[in-house]
Structure 1
Amino acid sequence: MIEVQGLTKRYGAVQAVDDLTFSVKPGVVTGFLGPNGAGKSTTMRMILGLDKPSSGTALIDGSAYRDLPNPARKVGALLDAKGVHPNRSARSTLLWQAQAAGIPSSRVDEVLALVGLTDVAGKRVGGFSLGMGQRLGIAAALLGDPEYLILDEPVNGLDPAGIRWVRGLLQSLAAEGRTVLVSSHLLAEMAQTAENLIIIGRGRLVADTSVAEFIRSNSAVTVVARAVDTQALEAALAGLAYRRVVDADGREALEIPDRSTDEIGALAHATGVQLAELSERRASLEEAYMNSTQGHAQYVSEGVSNA
C-alpha cells in the first residue's frame, strides 16, 4: 500500500501540496486526477523520493522510497518519458537500467516485446514518436516486475489502440494484486480504466472514493421515459418538472430530473400509461469532475464556457 500522510511541499511562497493524506490500495487501478497545477506531479515525485516534503510522509509498503532495499524491483515509475538519452537505442536504454538494478538482460527483451517495441529495439530513441517514447517509458517502469506502479500520464501521445492496450495492461497488473497509481487528463479513459479515484485541487484533497460513488455524489440523476402516448405520460407527470427531447431515432421522450425509475414507473403504472422506455442517466466522469473541482483550478481561462 502507498500511504501519504499530511504531505506538504512549499517552494518559497508557493504551496504546491497542502496537508495531503490518502492511501493507494493494491488490487485496483487508482486514478490520480486534478487540474493543471494541482500538485499531482509534485506528489508523485515526493512518493518516489525525488522531492523532499516540507512536512509529512509518503510511504511505500511502510517505508520511504530511499529506504527500500532494491527499489527498482519494488517500484516501477514513469514520470517523464522524454528523460532518456536520444542517441541510445531502445534496448541499450533499458539494458543499462537493468544492469544497474541487477536485473537479468533477458528481462529487457521481455518488456520490449510486452510494449510492442521489439522491431525498433535497435533504433535511437531520439527518432521515436511521442507514442513510442511512452511505450519505452512503460517498459522501463515494468523492468523490475514491480509490485508498485506509479505512472504520470502514461497514455499521452498514444493512438486509440495504444490507449486500449495500456488500459488492459494496468487492469491486468492490478488484478494480480499490484498497487497501481496513474494520473491522466483523459477523463473518459480514466472512467474505463480506474476503479478508485484520488482527486486533488490546489494541493488539497478533493475526493478519495470509487469512480461509481464519485459520479453518484457529484451528479444528478435524470430519468428518461418514452411512452406509447406521450400526452398521457405528460398528464401522469402533472406537477413534476420535465422536458421533451427527441432521441437519435427521432422518437419523442421526456426527461425528468432528480427522480428515480422506481418513482416514474410506479406513477405510469398507477395511471395506466404504457411505457416503451424507462431508464436513468447519470453524468459522465468528466461532468462530475468539473462539478467537484470548481474553485480548485489554478489556471482558469476567462470568457470560456466549460459546458
Structure 2
Amino acid sequence: MIEVQGLTKRYGAVTAVDDLTFTVPPGRVTGFLGPNGAGKSTTMRMIVGLDKPTAGQSLIDGSAYANLDKPAQTVGALLDAKGVHPNRSARASLLWQAQAAGLPKSRVDEVLALVGLSDVAGKRVGGFSLGMNQRLGIAAALLGDPEYLILDEPVNGLDPEGIRWVRGLLRALAAEGRTVLVSSHLLAEMAQTADHLIVIGRGRLVADTSVADFIRGNSRVTTVVRPAGDNLPALEEALRRGLEGAGNAGAGVTRSVDADGRPVLEVADVSSDEVGALAFHAGVQLAELTERRASLEEAYMQSTEGHTQYAAGSAPVAQPSAGRHAAQPSQPNSPEVPNA
C-alpha cells in the first residue's frame, strides 16, 4: 500500500502540495486527477524520493522509498518519458538501468517485447516519437517486475491501439494484486481504466472515491421517457401529479425531442425506476425509458471548479469583417491577446 500522510511541499512562497493525505491499496487501478499545477507530479516525485517534502511523509509498504532494500524490484515509475539520453539506443537505455539494479540482461529484451519496441531496440532514442518514448518509459518502469507502479501520463502521445494496450496492461497488473497509481488528463480513458480516484486541486484533496461514486456525487441524473403512441400529454400530467404526491414537486419535467425528432420528456433528479413506476400506475405504456448521468469529464469539471490554478480566458469573439482592413493588426493603443 502507498500511504501519503500530511504531505506538503513549498517552493518559497508557493505551496505546491498542501497537507495531502490518501492511500493507494493493492489490487486496483487508482487514478490521480487534477488540473495543471494541482501538484500531481510533485506528489509522485515525493513518493519516489526525488523531491523532499516540506512536511509529512509518503510510505511504500510501510517504508520511505529511500529505505527500500530493492527499490527497482519494488517500485516502477514513469515520471518523464523524455528523460533519457538521446544518443543511446532503446536497449542501451534499459541495459544500464538493469545493471544498476542487479537485474539480468535478459529482462531488457523481455520488457522491450512487452511494450512493442523489439524492432527498434537498436535505434537511438533521440529519433523516437513521443509515443515510442512513452513505451520505452513504461518498459523501464517494468524492468524490475515491481509490485508498485507509479505512472505520470503514461498514455500521452500514444495512438488508440497503444492507449488500449496500456489500459489492458494496468488492469491486468492490478488484477494480479499490484498497486497501480496513474495520472492522466484523458478523462474518458481514465473512466475505463481506473477503479478509484484521487482528485486534487491547488495541492489539496478534492475527492477520494470510486469512479461511480465520483460521477454520482458531482452530476445530476436525468431520465428520458417516451410513451407509446400519442400519450405524451397524459404521461406528462401523470408524472407531475405523481412527483407532487411523493413530495418531489421540485423535480423538473420538460418536453424535448430525441435525435430522431421524436417528442420525449426529460425528468431531472428522478431515477428511471421512479419514472417507470409512475407511468405504470398511470397506465401509460412506454416506448423508451433511459437514465442519463454525466461523464467523468463533466463530473471532474464540476468537482474542480474553483481549484484550477491556470485557467484560460474566454476566446475572443470574431467581429464582422469590414473589408480588407478588418484583418490588419491592432493599433498600438488597442488591447491585444498576449502570446500563449
d(CA) in 1 for partners of 2:176 and 2:257?
45
Partner in structure 2 of residue 145 of structure 1: 145
Which of 250, 256, 280 does residue 267 from structure 2 map onto?
A: 256
Q: CA deviation at 1:238?
A: 3.1
1:4-47, Cα deviation, whole Å (9 max, x unpaired): 00000000000000000000010000000000100000000000
d(CA) in 2 for partners of 1:214 and 1:88?
44
Q: CA deviation at 1:244?
A: 2.5
d(CA) in 2 for partners of 1:50 and 1:248?
52
Q: Which AA in structure 2 matches 1:234?
A: E
Partner in structure 1 of residue 297 of structure 2: 286
Q: Which runs of 4+ in 1 moved over 3 A?
A: none
d(CA) in 2 for partners of 1:241 and 1:213?
23
Give the CA RMSD over aligned residues: 1.2
d(CA) in 2 for partners of 1:141 and 1:276?
52
d(CA) in 2 for partners of 1:66 and 1:121?
31
> 1:238 is paired with a residue of what secondary structure?
helix
> 1:290 is paired with a residue of what secondary structure?
helix
d(CA) in 2 for partners of 1:68 and 1:244?
62
d(CA) in 1 for partners of 2:149 and 2:240?
54
Partner in structure 1 of residue 7 of structure 2: 7
Instruction: Kindly report which structure 2 residues correspond to 1:6-85, keeping only aligned pairs within 5 A, or say none.
Output: 6-85=6-85
User: Percent same amino acid at aligned positions?
Assistant: 79
Does the 8 Å CA contact 2:240/2:253 hold for their aligned counterparts? no
Please tell me whether residue 247 in structure 1 is matched to residue 258 in structure 2: yes
- The TM-score normalised by the length of structure 2 is 0.88
1:176-207, Cα deviation, whole Å (9 max, x unpaired): 00000000000010000000000000000000
> 1:83 is paired with a residue of what secondary structure?
coil
> 1:237 is paired with a residue of what secondary structure?
helix
Which of 290, 310, 319 does residue 299 from structure 1 map onto?
A: 310
1:68-124, Cα deviation, whole Å (9 max, x unpaired): 011001000000000000011101110110011011111111100000001111110
- More off after superposition, 295-304 vs 177-186: 295-304
Gapped runs of 5+ residues in structure 1? none
d(CA) in 2 for partners of 1:245 and 1:129?
47
> 2:240 is paired with a residue of what secondary structure?
coil
d(CA) in 2 for partners of 1:66 and 1:272?
69
Q: CA deviation at 1:63?
A: 0.4
d(CA) in 1 for partners of 2:294 and 2:196?
17
Partner in structure 2 of residue 106 of structure 1: 106
Partner in structure 1 of residue 237 of structure 2: 235
Q: Which AA in structure 1 matches 2:308?
A: A
> In 2 relative to 1, CA 49–167 (structure 1 residues): closer, same or farther, beyond 3 Å?
same
Q: Which AA in structure 2 matches 1:231?
A: P
d(CA) in 2 for partners of 1:120 and 1:17?
39
Q: Which AA in structure 2 matches 1:242?
A: V
Larger radius of gyration: 2
Please tell me whether residue 268 in structure 1 is matched to residue 276 in structure 2: no
Instruction: Kindly report which structure 2 residues correspond to 1:204-223, keeping only aligned pairs within 5 A, or say none.
Output: 204-223=204-223
Q: CA deviation at 1:304?
A: 5.5
- More off after superposition, 177-186 vs 251-260: 251-260
Q: Would you say how many aligned residue pairs link Structure 1 and Structure 2?
A: 305
d(CA) in 2 for partners of 1:288 and 1:180?
23
